[in-house]
Structure 1
Amino acid sequence: MTLIPASMASAIAGRATILHALETLVIGGAGGLLFLWANLPGGLISAAMIAVGSAALAGRPLAVPPILTQTVLLLLGISLGSLVSRQLIQHVSAYPLTIALLALATFCSTFGSSFYLRRVHGWDQTSAFLAGSPGALSQITMLAAEKGADVAAIAVVQTMRVIILTAALPLVLASTGMAQTALPAAASDIASPQQLAALIAASIAVALLLRWMKFPASWMFGAMIGSSLLHSTALVEGGLPPWLRGVALVGIGALIGTRFARVTAKTLLSHVNAGLGSFAIAMVISAVFVAVIALTTHVRFADIVVAFAPGAMDAMLALALTLHIDPIFVGAHHLSRFVFVSITTPGIVHLFGRPQEDVDD
Structure 2
Amino acid sequence: MPLSKPPLAKRPRFDALRAFLPTLLLGLLGGGLAFWAGLPLPWLLGAMLATTLPSLAGMRLRGPGSARKAVLAVIGVMLGSAFSPGMAGDVAAWTISLGMMLFATAVMWAFSFWFAHRVAGYSIETSLYAGIPGGVSAVTAMAMESGADLRIVGLTHATRILVLLLAIPPLLDVLGHVELGMRPASAASWLWLPSLFDIAWLLGSGVAGIGLGRLLRLPNAFLFGPALVSAALHLTGLTHAVVPPSVMAIAQVIIGVSVGIRFGGTPLAAVAFNLWMAALQAAALMLVAIAAAWSIHVVTGYSMAAALLANMPGGAPELSLVALSLGIDPAFVTSHHLLRIAALMLLMPLMLRAFRRRLA
Instruction: Calculate the TM-score normalised by the size of structure 2.
Output: 0.86
Alpha-carbon distance in 1 for matches of 2:33, 2:259: 18
Structure 1 residues 143, 69: CA separation in 2 closer, same or farther (over 3 Å shift)?
closer
* Identity over aligned pairs, percent: 28
2:40 corresponds in structure 1 to: 41
The offset of 1:242, in angstroms, is 1.8
Gaps of 5+ in 2: none
Alpha-carbon distance in 1 for matches of 2:13, 2:194: 35
1:132 maps to 2:131:
yes
Structure 1 residues 313, 270: CA separation in 2 closer, same or farther (over 3 Å shift)?
same
1:63 maps to 2:63:
yes
The one-character-per-residue Cα deviations of 1:157-192 (angstroms, maximum 9, x if unpaired) are 21110111122213431464226343799xx77522
Matches within 5 A, 1:1-40: 13-40=12-39
The offset of 1:14, in angstroms, is 4.3
The offset of 1:153, in angstroms, is 1.8
The 8 Å contact of residues 209 and 229 in structure 2, kept in 1 or not, is answered as yes
2:219 corresponds in structure 1 to: 216
For 2:133, give the aligned amino acid.
Answer: P
Alpha-carbon distance in 2 for matches of 1:139, 1:203: 20
The offset of 1:212, in angstroms, is 2.4
Instruction: Calculate the TM-score normalised by the size of structure 1.
Output: 0.86
Alpha-carbon distance in 2 for matches of 1:255, 1:320: 18
Please tell me the root mean square deviation across aligned C-alpha atoms, in Å.
2.9
Structure 1 residues 241, 288: CA separation in 2 closer, same or farther (over 3 Å shift)?
closer
The 8 Å contact of residues 195 and 236 in structure 1, kept in 2 or not, is answered as yes
2:94 aligned counterpart, secondary structure: helix
1:146 aligned counterpart, secondary structure: coil
The 8 Å contact of residues 136 and 314 in structure 2, kept in 1 or not, is answered as no
1:197 aligned counterpart, secondary structure: helix
Structure 1 stretch displaced more, 280-289 or 24-33:
280-289
Alpha-carbon distance in 2 for matches of 1:183, 1:325: 14
The 8 Å contact of residues 191 and 237 in structure 1, kept in 2 or not, is answered as no
1:75 maps to 2:74:
yes
Structure 1 residues 147, 207: CA separation in 2 closer, same or farther (over 3 Å shift)?
closer
Match of 1:275 among 272, 275, 278: 278
2:301 aligned counterpart, secondary structure: coil
1:191 corresponds in structure 2 to: 194
Alpha-carbon distance in 1 for matches of 2:163, 2:250: 22
2:322 corresponds in structure 1 to: 319
Alpha-carbon distance in 2 for matches of 1:52, 1:320: 22
Paired residues, number: 349
2:145 aligned counterpart, secondary structure: helix
Structure 1 stretch displaced more, 251-260 or 294-303:
251-260
Match of 1:255 among 255, 258, 261: 258
Alpha-carbon distance in 2 for matches of 1:163, 1:256: 7
Alpha-carbon distance in 2 for matches of 1:63, 1:263: 15
The 8 Å contact of residues 179 and 323 in structure 1, kept in 2 or not, is answered as no
The offset of 1:31, in angstroms, is 0.8
The 8 Å contact of residues 179 and 325 in structure 1, kept in 2 or not, is answered as no
Alpha-carbon distance in 2 for matches of 1:195, 1:104: 40
The offset of 1:338, in angstroms, is 0.6
For 1:330, give the aligned amino acid.
Answer: V
Structure 1 residues 56, 89: CA separation in 2 closer, same or farther (over 3 Å shift)?
farther
The 8 Å contact of residues 190 and 238 in structure 1, kept in 2 or not, is answered as no
Alpha-carbon distance in 2 for matches of 1:238, 1:320: 18
Alpha-carbon distance in 1 for matches of 2:240, 2:92: 27
The 8 Å contact of residues 184 and 245 in structure 2, kept in 1 or not, is answered as no
Structure 1 stretch displaced more, 83-92 or 212-221:
83-92
The offset of 1:96, in angstroms, is 2.2
For 1:42, give the aligned amino acid.
Answer: L
The 8 Å contact of residues 163 and 283 in structure 2, kept in 1 or not, is answered as no
Gaps of 5+ in 1: 1-5
Structure 1 residues 331, 18: CA separation in 2 closer, same or farther (over 3 Å shift)?
same
The 8 Å contact of residues 317 and 327 in structure 1, kept in 2 or not, is answered as yes
1:158 corresponds in structure 2 to: 157
The one-character-per-residue Cα deviations of 1:89-139 (angstroms, maximum 9, x if unpaired) are 553233222222222211111111222233333333332232211112233
Structure 1 residues 55, 13: CA separation in 2 closer, same or farther (over 3 Å shift)?
farther
The 8 Å contact of residues 94 and 297 in structure 1, kept in 2 or not, is answered as no
For 2:107, give the aligned amino acid.
Answer: C
Alpha-carbon distance in 2 for matches of 1:89, 1:261: 44
